[in-house]
């Protein structure tokens, strides 16, 4: 994670989808001001660091949420009231030790 201010976020909701649902897959909904603070755009791929594991998810902007609150969808290992950190993926950073092809 690049240096900078990245306050924790609290999970205020969890959505579990089923096969056949229109919208599926790991996602995290957060306010636009929380996203801007972390340099995250709508639809960006981010790391969610929770108390037991970390996962990749798509960031979705939702200004109806309270400041510092997020709703996660299909992210295993998270439950409401838990604290998470969100880190955007820096696709421009070079890979340090690439594997030979």
- Which percentage of the chain shows pLDDT scores above 90? 76
Whether 101 shows a pLDDT value over 60: the answer reads: no
For residue 89, what pLDDT is reported? 86
CATH number of 27-88: 2.40.40.20
For residue 96, what pLDDT is reported? 61
pTM: 0.83
CA distances from residue 67 to 7, 35, 75, 80, 90 in whole angstroms, order as listed: 11, 10, 21, 15, 24
Task: Enumerate the domain spans of the chain.
Answer: 27-88
């Amino acid at each position: 994670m690049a240096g900078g201010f990245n306050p924790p976020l609290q999970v205020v909701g969890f959505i579990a989808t089923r096969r056949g649902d229109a919208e599926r897959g790991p996602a995290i909904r957060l306010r636009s001001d929380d996203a801007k603070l972390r340099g995250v755009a709508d639809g960006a791929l981010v790391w969610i660091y929770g108390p037991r594991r970390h996962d990749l998810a798509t960031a979705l902007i939702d200004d109806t949420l309270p400041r510092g609150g997020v709703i996660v969808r299909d992210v295993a290992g998270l439950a409401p009231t838990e604290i998470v950190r969100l880190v955007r993926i820096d696709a421009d950073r070079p890979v340090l030790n690439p594997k030979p092809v």
